[in-house]
Amino acid sequence: MNKKILRLCALMILSFLGILTLLHGKAKTELYISGQNGILLTIDANGRETEFYPYENPIDGLTYFFLPSYMEDHVIYMKKSFGETLLVNGEPVKDNHKLEWKNDEIYQIAVTGNPNCPPAEYQVVFMKSANIPSIFIDTQSGSMEYVHADKENKESGQICIIESDGSLEYSGRLESISGRGNSTWGYDKKPYSIKLRNEKALLGMDQGKKWYLLPIFIEKNRMNSKVALDIATRLGLAFTSQCTWIDLYLNGEYRGNYLLCESVTVGDGRIAIHDLETENMANNPDIDEAPVFMYDTYKGCVLADGGNVNGGYLIEKDGPGNYELEKSGFLTTSGACFVLKSPEHASQEQVEYIMDYFQTIENMITENTPDYQNYIDLDSFAARFLVDEITLNYDVNVTSTFFYKNIDSNLLYAGPVWDYDSSMGFGKENMHEWCDYERFTFDNVREGINTLNWYQLLYNNETFYERMTAKFADLLPYMETLLESTIDEYAEYIRASALMDGKRWQYAYATSTNQGHYVEFDSNVRYLKYYLAKRLNYLCEAWQIPYQKFTTAGNGEMHSVSFMVGDTCVETRMVPDGETMPNVPPLPDEEKYLGWYFTFNEERYFDKLPIYEDCVLYAKELETTP
């Protein structure tokens, strides 16, 4: 039976899987091995099976099976075809042999005796998740090839969500799965948007049809986005996306630890404002075929019925490149690009209205006219400023900066917040610069996107400043709890899944320069606590907020740091855990070498980066033009 046929069978089986597991507790796990059909793992639930395929790790050459949290603990039942001999660690075993596997142990599994196939041998490692739910998606084609070919491609299928205790959360038809994101779409571990057939409240979150699956690839601690959204929720920012960690399986293949999030879209259970896109679609039945008009400073769709103009709107400040790809949007006189996310198909009257509205606000903020308070919701602007400033969000004022305006209201609201993979000491470019916790987001200027930052002006406004600092002071007890317990609790909750994810994407982490300062999961978690503590101390001092100093103690270990020039180690230091190195060895030739760089991720060492594990730094040569 080939892989595609197995997947088609799974489409029918999967919808029953969660119910059967709920009735019978932990599911029985069987490893089916055949010289002819290869190696695969099945879940046996009351006589019905679904298949999981192994992963061949190109780094260590081992075959991994990544088991969902709800499967039977550390037990695999070995199955084989008739007439074959099955060996485990060189010893023959009977059919249906119960293997009580152990963590970090390699099992030599072989099958012989099939006259039609040569002997098959495998070096197998079993890993099992814990605590978090599992999402199984099977596309209609049984493959992700079409979806991965283009971010806009969509495919239907089946979806099943099973809690860690084996209970069924959801099972049904999946209207579509497609790609999403901008720079994150370029990674091997990809982000997805899924659309259910009907609105559904999943895993304790608000109901909706559209959901996001975030790969949290850059966040090697797997927490930046979750922590940022937690802070936004604590600050009372309306419509903040709820999220939870899950293990994702696509067509029987483990894809890693993901964050399931409510989508940033207009609608009940999401951003509950007037749905102008739906209204436009009702008034313009052929809206998908509507031509796009484009002027120097704005663009939109040519609609027969221009509709009402005063709301609701969901607007994203974005970069010029992304602006070019969207149907509707506008530029202010400062050169800032704004995209209309809803209505996506905006009439000329609607675009002109919201462009003039934004320009009026920008003018008032620029001129520090008190009337701007009649146009912006000060609480939401202050709250979002704090989320971005505490996390030192790399994307602030560049992309993923959302605003919304409801119908029959003059107020513009900041939010919902989004996209915090590059934050809290991590950045997609010049990552070492974002270790500097003693700076402001006002410094976030990128070539070609140097447009007016409203917060630069609001920060100097007395009313805004007082509102913002008062909110910050009220937030500090929550941040203390976050640092003292919540982050550690999150780490334990996702640890097993994070370790599986690390093995699944080991090759990608090894070749990416944007995936964390450290090799180990725990080191990156501890750095998150370190960075937030240093950042909060800096902001308390800058804003003159009296509060007990936040600290992050080391664990008492000593770590080896070696400095290499070519093949020669010029110095080895023993550095206490959690300490920095303000003084590094001098470069042998400052005209020849750029600086000291970590060997594992090509990141430049920065004296505000603590040492949490053994590492090697090498002197990187300056690139020369031949």
Calculate the alpha carbon distances from 389 to 152, 228, 322, 341, 351 in Å.
33, 11, 24, 25, 31
Q: What pTM value is reported for the model?
A: 0.92
Alpha-carbon distance of 419 to 387, in angstroms, equals 11
- Tell whether 233 is covered by a domain: yes
pLDDT for the residue 3: 46
- Tell whether 51 is covered by a domain: yes
pLDDT for the residue 444: 60
Q: Is 291 exposed, middle or buried (0-12, 13-18, 19+ CB in 10 A)?
A: exposed
- Tell whether 525 is covered by a domain: no
In this structure, are 118 and 170 located in the same domain? no
- Tell whether 450 is covered by a domain: no
Residues forming a β-bridge with 244: 260
- 226-229-234-238 Cα dihedral, nearest 10 degrees: -150
pLDDT for the residue 150: 94
The rounded radius of gyration (Å) of the Cα atoms in the chain is: 27
pLDDT for the residue 32: 77
Contact partners, residue 521, CB within 8 Å, separation at least 6: 220, 221, 222, 491, 495, 498, 499, 502
pLDDT for the residue 77: 87
- Tell whether 230 is covered by a domain: yes
pLDDT for the residue 450: 53
pLDDT for the residue 258: 98
In this structure, are 141 and 100 located in the same domain? no
Assigned token pair, 545? 């907020």
In this structure, are 116 and 69 located in the same domain? yes
pLDDT for the residue 79: 84
In this structure, are 258 and 140 located in the same domain? yes
pLDDT for the residue 58: 95
Number of folded domains that form the chain: 3
Task: Output the CA torsion sign for 199, 205, 210, 215.
Answer: negative
In this structure, are 189 and 95 located in the same domain? no
Domain that holds residue 102: 3-128
pLDDT for the residue 516: 78
In this structure, are 65 and 88 located in the same domain? yes
In this structure, are 96 and 143 located in the same domain? no
- Tell whether 277 is covered by a domain: no
Alpha-carbon distance of 623 to 626, in angstroms, equals 9
- Tell whether 187 is covered by a domain: yes
Alpha-carbon distance of 86 to 401, in angstroms, equals 58
Alpha-carbon distance of 211 to 264, in angstroms, equals 9
The domain boundary residue, chosen from 227, 262, 297: 262
Nearest residue to 215 (alpha-carbon basis) of 626, 405, 498: 498
The domain boundary residue, chosen from 213, 237, 262: 262
In this structure, are 61 and 176 located in the same domain? no
**pLDDT tens digits, residue range 551-568?**
988 899 999 999 999 999
pLDDT for the residue 164: 92
Averages of pLDDT over runs of 10 residues in the chain (626 residues) are 40 33 55 74 62 92 94 85 86 90 93 81 94 95 96 95 90 96 88 96 96 93 96 97 97 96 95 96 94 96 94 94 92 94 97 97 91 93 96 87 95 95 76 78 61 84 95 98 97 98 90 77 95 97 95 91 96 96 92 91 88 96 69
- Tell whether 400 is covered by a domain: no
In this structure, are 122 and 154 located in the same domain? no
Within its chain, how far is the Cα of 207 from the centroid?
Answer: 21
Residues forming a β-bridge with 564: 569, 618
The domain boundary residue, chosen from 204, 230, 262: 262
pLDDT for the residue 30: 78
In this structure, are 161 and 185 located in the same domain? yes
Task: Transcribe 57-71 into DSSP letters.
Answer: -TTT--EEEEE-TTB
**b vs e for 177-192, b when ≥16 Cβ sit within 10 Å of the residue's Cβ?**
bbbbbbbbeebebbbb
pLDDT for the residue 40: 86
In this structure, are 252 and 178 located in the same domain? yes
pLDDT for the residue 38: 77
25: how many CB neighbours lie within 10 A of its CB?
12
In this structure, are 99 and 219 located in the same domain? no
Task: Transcribe 572-596 into DSSP letters.
Answer: EEEEETT---S--PPPS-TTTEEEE
- CATH number for position 568: 2.60.40.4270
Q: 3-state SS string over 522-559?
A: HHHHHHHHHHHHHHHHHHHHHCCCCCCCCCCCCCCCEE
